[in-house]
Structures are given as structure tokens and as C-alpha cells.
Structure 1
Amino acid sequence: MINFKLKDTKSYKPVGSSTGLSMSWYWLTEGDLWIDLGDSSLYEYSPKAQEYFGGLKSQYNEYQIIRFIEDFTALFEVISESIPNDIYRLAENSAKFLQDAQKWLDLNDAEEDQQDDFYFEKYDKLISWINRRSLDSGHLVGGPKLSFFRNKDKIRVTWQADYKLENGIDLWTAGEGSIEFSYSEFINDVKDFGDRFFKQMQEQVDLAVEKEWNGIQIDKQRLLAEHSEREIDFWKQFKLLKGKSPSETKWELIRELKSQMDEEIKRKA
């Protein structure tokens, strides 16, 4: 599911000014990342976008893969929480649910003195169950948004990657979509990704330690230590996927707010 290709250590560009260049473990994680979900590949540029930008070395987004890992693992505990059946059915078309919520927000925008109260007391709480399970790729302009919804022994992953450039060209190939598979398969996919990533990063670190950096600042002892720390933290977070998460979401409140939304849209729209 989660694929990557780290850059060759010879291709890495140190950071900083010409008088103080440096290299660290973080920058060694630079590479291509893409996520295969059914017939779609997330973080893959469309052919027209590749042609528009020109000079792209890969059809996939290139950045520090640890950024994805940090954002992804931060969701593990809430992903492990099983969603009630009725709410899970809404997740199948979460885009429509969010559109309805936005419509509800727009209907209440006219009352400016109550706008903030409505936003935080109703709208924000209504969509919180989606936002808490979503990875929005906020470091990318028009980045794909992925959401993860577990229901007992299955999980649904939805995505929005329909951003268009100013000239109307689709930035990504994936568009919008949704796929369901077993939760155990999801856990195995995440484990496989972690095994592959940290094995290859160990090789990167070993090469970086052996390399002569010719005046570029690099703390090789810190490089080794940070690799160990990052790997330990990943597997610590991974255990949360397999544990029993306490149900912290106020599902009854979500149901009440949705009922209010449906009734008000029907009455006012």
C-alpha cells in the first residue's frame, strides 16, 4: 500500500547557507512517496501536471518521508477506535457529508453575531469525527487528503486529490475515491512499510557515516542515535493500532447534530 524510494546519498543537497551547510537524519529521508489504493495512486502527479511543471524527476511527490510518518502515526490511536455502524455508513461518502455540513454552515452565516458560536458549538463538533481521522498533507499546495475509518474488523480509506491548477489541469491522478478492506490487512501494510523504511534508512545512515562530507556539518553520532529514536517511536505508535482504543468520540452528539443539520437544510434550503 505505502511505497517509497529514498534518494541516493550522493544526490542529497545539504541545507543552510554556503558558509554553514549541514546534513541531518531528517534530510536523509527525502525521496518519492506514493500510496496505492485499489486502482488509484495517491501523491502521483497527472501527466499534464508533469508536462506543465517540466523537469520533474519523478511522477511522484518528492519530500521528506518522515513528514508523512509523523502525521500518519499521530492518527494511529484514533484510527484504532471502532466507529458505530450508522456513522460508518456515512464514511462511505464522507465528501457528501462534508458538503452538507458546509451547506449548513453557509445557511447560518447570515446571523453574524452568532456565527462563531455556531461554528465551534455545532459545525466543528459535527465534522470532528472526520477531521480527527484525516491526514491533509498540509505542507503541500493542493495536497491529497486521506481519511481512515475503522469499523470492527474492517477499515474504509477515503481520499480527495482533486486539486486543479490555475489553468484547470488536475494536479493529481487519484481524484476522489474510497476503498474498504480488512483492518488486519491495514495493520500488516503499515508494519510492512515500517520494516522497509527503517531497514533502508539504516542503510542510508550507514552510508552517511562512512561518507566524507567535505566541510558540510554532520553529527554522525547524533545521526545514529536519531535513527534509533525514530524507529523506536514508530513501533511505539504502531502498537496503538493493535490495542483497544478507549471510545472518546461523543457519537450521540454527532447523531443529534446531524439530525439538526438535515432538518434545517430541508427547511431552509
Structure 2
Amino acid sequence: MALINFRLPGTDEATYSGVNSTINGWFYLTDGELWLELEESTIYTYTRDSESVLSDLLKHEFNDYYISRFVEDFSEIFQAISEPLPEFLHPAIETYKTLEAYKLWASTFLECDYQEKKYIDTNYEILLTWIYRRSLPANHLIGGPTIWFFRIFDQIQIIWRADHKLPSGAPLWTHPFGEYKMDYDLFVKEIQDFSKRFFTEMNQLIATIKDYASKNFDVESVLKQNLERQVAFDDDVLRLLTSDLMTTDWETVRRCYENRKV
């Protein structure tokens, strides 16, 4: 199973008959399901108990939204992901719990700075932003998961939090917390593979729309847009291989972190 998996919709006259814009046309055609396979854990998979918040459980086993949103949001953090974390921070990203412990320490540190009226702006930027720059939230979903991607030498550490609870107290997602490590080169290849599969299937889907869509749906224009988006995404993927463009002030983080009270 690939790291990034998806399902695109079929050609349904009811779905596409109202399309009246080539720009919106491409975006709406990406309305499908998406999930990540990390060995025994699957991110973006709903539990059976989540039927109370889903209109059709059988149609929405996985994250059901426009896949283009994932493509855009994910590509925005590629440059940050490319920068390896310094070794002194590795213990902070071993698990979700260690990551939360670091965030708690940083928040406490910043609160003390605020009370003493010193360093607050600079330290907030330095101590916490490196985490947020590597995060992939899903605020467009009910109780959406957050996934963090941290490069450790030639590996990538993936940590996630998906612990939203239903009114009954049951979990919304199948795997509330976890972490997974894989080779960084393989991680990049998996994203490149996703790009090839996704945009190829989009091409095939768009090409079959002509007999189903309204007269305003310009198939050739949307095919061109699909190609342009693939080129843009593939260019973004190359950022994963250019870590020298990031210039995080790790020395200040190290000085604050290593002098913390344990």
C-alpha cells in the first residue's frame, strides 16, 4: 500500500451538470476520499461510531473533501520539512507525548518571558514556529487530525494527533495518536508517486466528463489546468531536496532548551 491513497469520484451527471466554471470545475472534480497508510496505522480513517456526524458512513470511510486542498496545504510545508532538525531536538520529537512536553515547556518559558517583559517576540518565533511550519492541520474537517513531519538526518519522523471525541465520548478517528519513521528518500518518492497517480487519474476523469457536464465545462481548458497544477506540485516537491534554503536560528533554540529546568 502506498503512503498517500485516494479515491476520486466517478462521472455522475447529477454531480457535474451544474458546473459552469473551468476553474471551479477542476477543484470540484477533486472531491474524493484520502488517507495515509503508515504500516498498522491509517490516518484520516473514521471509526464506525462516527456515523452520527457523517451523512453517509459507507461513502465516507476516509477523509472526504477536495483532494486539491491536501495537495495545496501539504506542498506549503515542503521547504520546512526539508531542513533536518538539530540533534539536541531529537528527544523532543520521539513521540506525540514528547512533542507535547516540548510545547508545554516552550509555552511556560514564553509566559515567564512575558511576565519579565523580555525576549517574548523573538523567542515565540524561534521556540514554537519550527513546529508549526512542519504541521499539516485539517481545520476544514470536523475534528480534523494534525500531522507533523520532522526530518532526522536521512529519515522522516511523522507524528499525528487525531483524538477528537464524539458527543458519546467515542473517538472520531481510528488512530488518535501515533508516530512513524521512514527513510527520507522513500518519503520523497512516495510523494512523487502520489503526484503521478493523482494527476493521471484526474486526467482520465476529466476526459470522461464531456458527455455528462454542462456546455460551459471546457474539457480542454480543465485538462490544461490539471497539467499546470501537476507541474507546479512537482516543482514544490523539489523543495524537499533543497534544505539549504532554510535558515532557522537553531542556536537560540538550543541555548534556551538546554538551559531549561528539568
TM-score, with normalisation over the residues of structure 2? Answer: 0.86
Name the structure 2 match of 1:218. 217
TM-aligned CA distance change 1:255 to 1:117, over 3 Å: closer
CA contact (8 A) 1:81 1:247 kept: yes
Aligned partner of 2:181 in structure 1 is 180
Partner of 1:86: 88
Native 8 Å contact 1:77 1:245 kept in 2: no
2:79 aligned to which of 55, 71, 77: 77
Q: Distance in 2 between matches of 1:116 and 1:5?
A: 51
1:42 deviates by 0.6
Q: How does 1:176-255 map to 2 (within 5 A)?
A: 176-208=177-209, 210-214=210-214, 217-255=216-254
Once the two structures are overlaid, the 10-residue window that deviates more, 55-64 or 194-203, is 55-64
Superposition pairs of residues 132-171 of structure 1, within 5 angstroms: 132-171=133-172
CA contact under 8 A between 1:165 and 1:171: conserved in structure 2?
Answer: yes
Q: Does the Cα contact within 8 Å between 1:162 and 1:171 map onto a contact in 2?
A: yes
Distance (whole Å) between structure 2 residues aligned to residue 14 and residue 206 of structure 1: 13
Give the AA of the match of 1:219.
Answer: D
Is residue 9 of structure 2 the alignment partner of residue 7 of structure 1?
A: yes
Instruction: Give the direction of change, closer, same or farther, for the CA distance of 1:190–1:165 in structure 2 (3 Å limit).
Output: same
Q: Is the 8 A contact 1:163 1:170 kept in 2?
A: yes
TM (norm. structure 1) is 0.84
Indicate the percent of aligned positions where both proteins have the same amino acid.
31
Q: C-alpha displacement at 1:80, in angstroms?
A: 1.1
What amino acid does structure 2 have at the position aligned with 1:161? A
Q: CA deviation at 1:113?
A: 7.0
Quick one: distance in 2 between partners of 1:130 and 1:82?
A: 12
Residues 240-268 of structure 1, C-alpha deviations (whole Å, 9 max, x = no match) = 223343341111111223245x32xx6xx
Q: In structure 2, do the counterparts of structure 1 residues 170 and 28 end up closer, same or farther at CA, with 3 Å as the change threshold? A: same
Separation of aligned partners in 1, 2:14 and 2:153: 43
CA gap of 1:117–1:231, structure 2 versus 1, over 3 A, is same
Q: Which amino acid aligns with 2:177?
A: E
Name the SS of the counterpart of 1:199 in structure 2.
helix
What's the CA shift for 1:211? 2.0
Letter in 2 for 1:243: T
Displacement of 1:77 in angstroms is: 1.4
Instruction: Give the equivalent residue in structure 1 for 2:104.
Output: 102
- When residues 233 and 183 of structure 1 are mapped into structure 2, their CA distance, relative to the original with a 3 A threshold, is same
Distance across 1 between alignment mates of 2:171 and 2:162: 9
Q: Deviations over 1:50-101 (max 9, x none)?
A: 3664622131111110100101111111111111122123211354343453
- CA distance 1:122–1:242, shift in 2 (3 Å): closer
The answer to whether the 8 A contact 1:109-1:115 is kept is no
Q: Any residues of structure 2 matched to 1:44-83 within 5 Å, and which?
A: 44-50=45-51, 53=54, 55-56=56-57, 57-83=59-85
CA contact (8 A) 2:17 2:213 kept: no
The worse-fitting range, judged by mean Cα deviation, of 22-31 and 69-78 is: 22-31
SS at match of 2:35: strand
Does the 8 Å CA contact 2:148/2:159 hold for their aligned counterparts?
A: yes
Amino acid at match of 2:240: L
- Give the number of equivalent residue pairs: 257
Q: CA RMSD in A?
A: 2.8
Amino acid at match of 1:81: E
Provide the rounded CA distance (Å) in 2 between the counterparts of 1:134 and 1:48. Answer: 27
In structure 2, C-alpha distance between the alignment counterparts of 1:28 and 1:116, rounded to whole Å: 51
